[in-house]
């Protein structure tokens, strides 16, 4: 079963709730290797997104995702604003005009979003960034769908791959962002960006699979 517009709004709301719940945790991770504002900034952005969504319907999934992206770009600041903003803007472009998404549509939109993040941030897997959670998530959803899995199963595998990618950042030495200034001292810490990206994929698996089971 395809993903509906209603489910996508549910996903955005669930992500906002997860960010709010984990605001302190994300900021704590960031204070170890960054500048201690990731949770605060992402929460400010997602709260602004909720206000936008309460104010009116976007019409279709593409327009909704673009609104989320533009709102994040203009409210988050730091590096998270342009990176998460680009993710949603590119997903929105890929889903333009659609009122529902097939499994392939979802995989294509997610891949477009992640490719946008890579272009903007110029990070590669292994640099200890959000890319370490996002790239495996894209690969997992694609290979699950190609192997004949239903969308809800593909979404769950995608979330698990993001979780594995997130924990795999712990031993890494950062090569991008403010954490890279720490050099070897950035090892033994989980990357805050990879952690918020895992929340994004985990809430997607929960909210988008809800009706498809």
Partner 1 sequence: MKKLINDPADVVKEALQGVAAAHPDRLRVMTDPNVIVRADAPVQGKVGLVSGGGSGHEPMHGGFVGMGMLDAACPGEVFTSPTPDQMLAATKAVNGGAGVLHIVKNYTGDVLNFEMAADLAGEEKIEVEAVVIDDDVAVTDSLYTAGRRGVGTTVLAEKICGAAAEQRRPLAEVAELCRKVNAGGRSMGMALTSCIVPAAGKPTFELGAAEMEIGIGIHGEPGRERRQIAPAREIVEMLAAPIVDDLPFRPGDRVLAFVNSMGGTPLIELYVVYNELHRFLAGRGIEIARNLIGPYITSLEMQGCSITLLKLDDELTALWDAPVNTPGMRWGA
Summarize as ranges the residues that interact with partner 1 (CB under 8 A): 35-37, 40-41, 73-83, 85-86, 120-121, 173, 175-178, 180-183, 185
Torsion angle (degrees, nearest 10) of CA 16, 140, 8, 209: -100
For partner 1, the closer CB: 82 or 165 = 82
Q: Which is nearer to partner 1, 72 or 107 (CB)?
A: 72
Contact 72, 45 (CB under 8 A): yes
3-class state of residue 3 by DSSP: strand
CB 64 → partner 1: shortest distance, Å? Answer: 19
| Nearest by Cα to 60 from 106, 105, 9, 5 | 5
- Residue 210 CB, nearest distance to partner 1 (Å)? 33
158, 152 in Cβ contact below 8 A? no
Which segments of 122-150 does DSSP mark as H helices, in order?
131-146
Q: Give the integer Cα–Cα distance in Å for 136 and 44.
A: 27
Nearer to partner 1, 62 or 121 (CB): 121
Using the minimum distance from each CB to partner 1, give the nearer residue, 6 or 122: 122
Nearer to partner 1, 80 or 136 (CB): 80
Are 32 and 186 spatial neighbours (Cβ–Cβ below 8 Å)?
Answer: no
| Shortest reach from residue 80's CB to partner 1, in Å | 8
Q: How far is the CB of 101 from partner 1 (least distance, A)?
A: 26
* Minimum distance from residue 202 beta carbon to partner 1 (Å): 25
Minimum distance, C-beta of residue 179 to partner 1, in the bound complex (Å): 9
Please give the Cα distance from 56 to 210 (Å, whole number). 24
Q: Which is nearer to partner 1, 42 or 138 (CB)?
A: 42
Tell which residue, 147, 148, 149, 165, has the closest CA to residue 202.
Answer: 165
């Amino acid at each position: 079963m395809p993903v509906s517009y209603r489910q996508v709004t549910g996903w955005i709301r669930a992500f906002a709730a997860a960010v709010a719940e984990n605001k302190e945790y994300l900021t704590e991770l960031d204070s170890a290797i960054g500048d201690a504002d990731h949770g605060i900034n992402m929460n400010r952005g997602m709260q602004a997104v909720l206000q936008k969504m309460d104010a009116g319907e976007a019409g279709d999934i593409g327009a909704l995702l673009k609104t989320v992206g533009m709102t994040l770009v203009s409210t988050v600041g730091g590096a998270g604003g342009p990176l998460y903003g680009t993710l949603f803007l590119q997903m929105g472009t890929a889903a333009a005009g659609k009122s529902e998404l097939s499994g392939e549509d979802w995989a294509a939109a997610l891949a477009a979003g992640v490719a946008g993040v890579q272009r903007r941030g110029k990070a590669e897997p292994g640099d200890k960034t959000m890319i370490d959670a996002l790239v495996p998530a894209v690969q997992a959803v694609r290979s699950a769908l190609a192997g004949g899995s239903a969308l809800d199963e593909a979404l769950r595998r995608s979330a698990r791959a993001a979780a594995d990618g997130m924990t795999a950042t712990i031993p890494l030495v950062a090569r991008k962002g403010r954490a890279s200034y720490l050099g070897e001292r950035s090892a033994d810490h989980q990357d805050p960006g990879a952690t918020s990206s895992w929340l994004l994929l985990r809430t997607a698996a929960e909210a988008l699979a809800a009706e498809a089971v």
